[in-house]
Structure 1
Amino acid sequence: MNVINWKEMLYPYEQTVAELKTKLEYIMNEYRLRGMYSPMESISGRVKKPSSILNKAKKKSIPVEKIEDEIEDIAGIRIICQFVEDIPKVISLIRRRDGRDLTIVEERDYITNTKDSGYRSYHIIIKYAINTVDGYREVLGEIQIRTLAMNFWAVTEHSLKYKYQGNIPEEIKHRLLSCADAAFNLDNEMSTIRNEIMYAQRLNKQKDNIVADIIDHIQNMYFVAKLSEMEDINKRFVGLWNSGDIDKLKDFRQDLCEMAKRYGV
Structure 2
Amino acid sequence: MISRSLKKLTRRNKASYKKVENNIEVTALVPANTTVNDDMEYIADITDQFSATMDPILRMYSAAMSATTARLEIIKDEFKYRKLRVPIHHIDTRLKSASSILGKLQKKSLALTLTAACNNIFDIAGIRVICPYIKDVYLIRDRLMAQDDIYIMEIKDYIAQPKKNGYRSLHMTIRVPVYFMNKKQMVPVELQLRTLSMDLWASLEHDLLYKSLYDDNEKKLDIRDIDIEKELKECSELIYTAEAKMEKLNACLEDMQ
TM-score by length of 2: 0.67
2:97 counterpart of 1:69: no
Aligned partner (choices 235, 240, 249) of residue 184 of structure 1: 240
The DSSP-based 3-state class of the residue aligned with 1:77 is: strand
Post-superposition shift, 1:196?
5.5
Tell me what 2:132 maps to: 82
Higher-Rg member (1/2):
2
Read off the aligned partner of 2:199 and give its amino acid letter. N
Q: Which residue in the other structure is 1:12 paired with?
A: 60
Residue range with higher mean Cα deviation, 179-188 or 74-83: 179-188
- Partner residue, 2:44: none
Q: TM-score, normalised by structure 1?
A: 0.65
Question: What is the aligned-residue RMSD (CA, Å)?
Answer: 2.6
Q: 1:188 to 1:150 in 2, by over 3 A?
A: same
Kindly indicate whether the alpha-carbon contact (under 8 Å) linking 1:17 and 1:77 is maintained by their aligned counterparts in 2.
yes
1:194 aligns to 2:250 (yes or no): yes
Percentage of identical aligned residues: 30
Q: 1:50 to 1:116 in 2, by over 3 A?
A: farther
Task: Structure 1: give runs of 5+ residues left out of the alignment.
Answer: 203-265
> How many residue pairs get matched?
195
- 8 Å contact 1:21–1:44 — kept in the other structure? no
What's the secondary structure of 1:35's corresponding residue? coil
Matched ranges for 1:1-265 at <5 A: 5-65=53-113, 66-97=116-147, 99-100=148-149, 102-133=150-181, 135-163=183-211, 164=213, 169=223, 171=226, 172-195=228-251
Q: Deviations over 1:29-60 (max 9, x none)?
A: 22112111222222222212233323332322
Report the secondary structure of 1:78's partner residue.
Answer: strand
- 1:127: Cα distance to partner? 0.9
d(CA) in 2 for partners of 1:57, 1:197: 49
- 8 Å CA contact 1:124–1:143 kept in 2: the answer is yes
Structure 2 CA distance for aligned equivalents of residues 68 and 113 of structure 1: 29
> 1:147, CA displacement in angstroms?
0.4
Distance 1:16 1:160, change over 3 A: farther
Contact 2:176 2:186 survives alignment (8 Å): yes
